[in-house]
């Protein structure tokens, strides 16, 4: 299948890379005008960094650099990325301006840049040689380009799920200190507060930036209050992947009781509002009125009543529009030459499989086929990512390489 961009209103589709290439959707700018992705036909560390201007009637990708981890700033005028890999030093952190000039930062990069929502700052991890520590978080001020270590150096051996993640109001970051098995919130000014119970690698900020959802070391669901620095237990059942509703009044999470998988919704005070069969990740509609989970397809529930309103049989990869209660999903279509041969470990590689991308308007139940895309036999179900303005849908699949979308993978800071 490769990578595709689909205009939600018209269904027009635009190819980004073909199935023979390894590609990855990186991120949209905050206003939805720009998209960046990477692609590579070879096996090298560096990839081609491509930027697309979505204000054009016919979006035209333009390669702007070679490197890794491109991240557009909120207004799309700056692009931070790793470049110039050196065996003993790793990647250099570069920032490309709108006029094409590139600024190289002194401190090397060990992770993608995480932009503050207001665009003033970005943070990333860098390797250090301090005894007993191998990682530190670097904070960059984009007004002065001064940078400094934020918080403590720490031992990590970690992936992106350890943070840092910005609060929506740009006042705080959260990260996990592996050595102490706990999380910390820290301000750009350097104020540092511990989350006073052991935490897992999952953090998600409330939409107003006043609280954090996280998993305790015993898998209990915890709520950290930024205002008073207290942590309380919302749920004692072992759950995972908590996700705030867009209105910030509720949280959904998945849990299991033996072979049975369920999704529960809690109020901010910890009262259970509904529990339904199915598995996550939990997906909320923009108005917080509907919830989508996986249960024999995509099951859509009305939160106020707890009733299942729609079951989209055989559908996968649900993703809600950020603007309307409309959910995008994918169904496997016809295929040719994909059958597994007797004795083979996997499906054939030379065949073709079709994927049908559709939209459901939850209040009315109206469904619309948006596009039918062709892919190879061995691709996973496509990952769907909406642009922040709800105009475009980006899709990709990458056989055997896990999630092909950084934007989906970093959503809400619940994983990295």
CA distances from residue 246 to 254, 284, 388 in whole angstroms, order as listed: 18, 7, 13
For residues 32-43, average pLDDT:
85
Q: Provide the pLDDT for residue 408.
A: 55
For residues 316-336, average pLDDT:
93
Q: How far apart are CA 2 and CA 249, in angstroms?
A: 38
Q: How far apart are CA 111 and CA 243, in angstroms?
A: 24
Residue 341 scores a pLDDT above 80:
no
Q: Provide the pLDDT for residue 311.
A: 96
First to last CA, the chain: 24
pLDDT digits (tens, 9 = 90+) for 23-35: 899 999 999 999 9
Residue 316 scores a pLDDT above 60:
yes
Instruction: Return the top range by mean pLDDT from 131-145, 159-173, 191-205, 271-285.
Output: 271-285
The pair of structure tokens assigned to 330 is: 């994918």
Q: Provide the pLDDT for residue 413.
A: 45
**Taking a C-beta distance cutoff of 8 angstroms, is the pair 252, 265 a contact?**
yes
Q: How far apart are CA 343 and CA 73, in angstroms?
A: 49
Q: Cα-flanking dihedrals φ and ψ of residue 282, to 5°?
A: -70, 130
When pLDDT is cut at 50, 70 and 90, the band that residue 160 belongs to is: low
Any idea what the Cα angle at residue 183 is, between residues 180 and 185, rounded to 5°? 130
For residues 105-112, average pLDDT:
90
Q: Provide the pLDDT for residue 400.
A: 45
pLDDT digits (tens, 9 = 90+) for 91-101: 999 999 999 99
Q: How far apart are CA 265 and CA 282, in angstroms?
A: 10
- Residue (of 415, 397, 412) closest to 317 by Cα position: 397
Q: Provide the pLDDT for residue 74.
A: 96
Q: Provide the pLDDT for residue 90.
A: 86
Residue 202 scores a pLDDT above 90:
no
148-162, 242-256, 305-319: least confident range: 148-162
The pair of structure tokens assigned to 316 is: 């996968």
What mean pLDDT is reported for the chain? 86
Torsion of CA 58, 63, 69, 75, to 10 degrees: -50
Q: How far is CA 52 from the centre of its chain?
A: 19
Q: Which residue has the higher pLDDT, 202 or 61?
A: 61
3-state secondary structure of 397: coil
Q: How far apart are CA 392 and CA 158, in angstroms?
A: 33
pLDDT digits (tens, 9 = 90+) for 354-369: 899 999 999 999 999 9
């Amino acid at each position: 299948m490769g990578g595709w961009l689909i205009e939600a209103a018209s269904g027009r589709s635009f190819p980004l890379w073909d199935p023979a290439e390894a590609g990855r959707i990186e991120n949209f700018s905050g206003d939805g005008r720009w998209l960046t992705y990477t692609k590579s036909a070879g096996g090298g560390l560096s990839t081609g960094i491509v930027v697309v201007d979505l204000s054009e009637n016919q979006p035209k990708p333009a390669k702007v650099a070679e490197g890794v981890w491109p991240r557009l700033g909120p207004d799309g005028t700056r692009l931070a990325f790793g470049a110039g890999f050196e065996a003993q030093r790793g990647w250099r952190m570069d920032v490309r301006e709108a006029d094409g000039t590139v600024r190289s930062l002194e401190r090397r990069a060990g992770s993608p840049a995480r932009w503050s929502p207001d665009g003033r700052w970005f943070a990333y991890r860098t390797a250090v040689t301090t005894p007993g520590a191998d990682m530190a978080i670097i904070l960059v001020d984009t007004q002065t380009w001064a940078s400094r270590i934020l918080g403590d150096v720490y031992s990590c051996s970690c992936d992106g799920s350890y943070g840092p993640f910005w609060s929506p109001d740009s006042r705080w970051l959260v990260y996990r200190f592996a050595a102490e098995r706990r999380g910390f919130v820290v301000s750009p000014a350097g104020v540092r507060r511990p989350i006073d119970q052991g935490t897992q690698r999952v953090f998600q900020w409330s939409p107003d930036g006043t609280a954090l959802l996280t998993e305790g070391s015993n898998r209990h669901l915890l709520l950290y209050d930024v205002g008073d620095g207290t942590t309380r237990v919302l749920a004692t059942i072992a759950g995972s992947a908590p996700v705030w509703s867009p209105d910030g009044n509720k949280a959904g999470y998945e849990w299991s009781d033996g072979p049975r998988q369920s999704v529960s919704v809690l109020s901010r005070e910890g009262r259970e509002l509904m529990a339904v069969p199915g598995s996550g990740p939990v997906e909320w509609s923009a108005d917080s009125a509907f919830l989508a989970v996986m249960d024999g397809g995509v099951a859509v529930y009305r939160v106020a009543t707890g009733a299942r309103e729609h079951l989209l049989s055989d559908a996968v990869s649900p993703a809600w529009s950020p603007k309307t209660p409309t959910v995008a999903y994918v169904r496997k279509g016809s295929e040719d030459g994909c059958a597994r041969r007797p004795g083979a470990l996997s499906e054939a590689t030379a065949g073709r499989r079709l994927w049908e991308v559709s939209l459901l308007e939850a209040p009315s139940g109206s469904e619309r086929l948006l596009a039918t895309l062709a892919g190879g036999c061995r691709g996973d179900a496509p990952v769907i990512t909406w642009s922040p303005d709800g105009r475009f849908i980006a899709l990709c699949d990458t056989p055997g390489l896990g999630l092909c979308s950084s934007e989906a993978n970093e959503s809400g800071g619940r994983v990295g």
